[in-house]
């Protein structure tokens, strides 16, 4: 089986092994979650392929009904791809203090923007945490 080449030298074994190590991304965001849908994190980059193995969003401390959304470009236009079904929401009381938004390998080739929105004004100014594991392709 022949493998098409785009020119240049093939990647070294060491380069490929380093990619397999992956990277962890985590952080804390303060937002006015009820005022407007607010960015939590942007994973990856446009025109760059990644495998997202996990994405967890901590909603501990939020009291409203929470909507977590993910967006990516489809044919050059940013489109919402999560949740499915679109009306899916979460609460700490029912779903727990953290939501495993991605739990398994999910391939992306454009930036993946993750947002949160709440129905409760008391959530404005609250702190939210996230954690993700990525692997370059």
CATH number for the domain spanning 30: value is 2.60.120.340
Whether residue 73 lies inside any domain: the answer is yes
Whether residue 84 lies inside any domain: the answer is yes
Strands 77-82 and 66-74: antiparallel
Pick from 72, 87, 85: which is nearest to 117 by CA? 87
Domain count, the chain: 1
**Per-residue pLDDT, 81:** 95
pTM of the model: 0.84
From first to last of the 137 residues of the chain, give the pLDDT tens digit.
Answer: 344 435 566 767 666 666 666 789 999 999 999 999 999 999 999 999 999 999 999 999 999 999 999 999 999 999 999 998 888 999 999 999 999 999 999 999 999 999 999 999 999 999 999 999 999 88
**Strand ranges (E), 20-97:** 23-32, 38-43, 50-58, 66-74, 77-82
Do the beta carbons of residue 27 and residue 126 sit within 8 Å? no
**Per-residue pLDDT, 14:** 66
d(CA 133, CA 104): 10
Whether residue 1 lies inside any domain: the answer is no
Strands 112-118 and 38-43: antiparallel
Whether residue 4 lies inside any domain: the answer is no
Distances (CA, A) of 23 to 9, 43, 65: 25, 11, 31
**Per-residue pLDDT, 5:** 39
Domain housing 32: 22-136
Whether residue 45 lies inside any domain: the answer is yes
Whether residue 15 lies inside any domain: the answer is no
Do the beta carbons of residue 32 and residue 124 sit within 8 Å? yes
Whether residue 6 lies inside any domain: the answer is no
Whether residue 106 lies inside any domain: the answer is yes
């Amino acid at each position: 089986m022949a493998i098409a080449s785009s020119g240049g030298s093939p990647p070294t074994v060491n380069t490929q092994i380093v990619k397999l190590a992956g990277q962890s991304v985590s952080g804390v965001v303060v937002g006015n979650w009820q005022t407007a849908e607010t960015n939590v994190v942007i994973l990856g980059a446009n025109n760059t392929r990644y495998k997202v193995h996990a994405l967890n969003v901590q909603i501990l401390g939020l009291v409203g009904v929470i909507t977590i959304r993910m967006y990516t470009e489809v044919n050059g236009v940013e489109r919402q791809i999560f949740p499915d079904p679109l009306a899916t929401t979460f609460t700490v009381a029912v779903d727990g203090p953290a939501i495993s938004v991605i739990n398994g390998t999910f391939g992306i080739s454009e930036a993946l923007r993750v947002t949160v929105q709440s129905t409760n004004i008391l959530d404005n100014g609250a702190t939210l945490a996230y954690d993700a594991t990525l692997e370059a392709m």
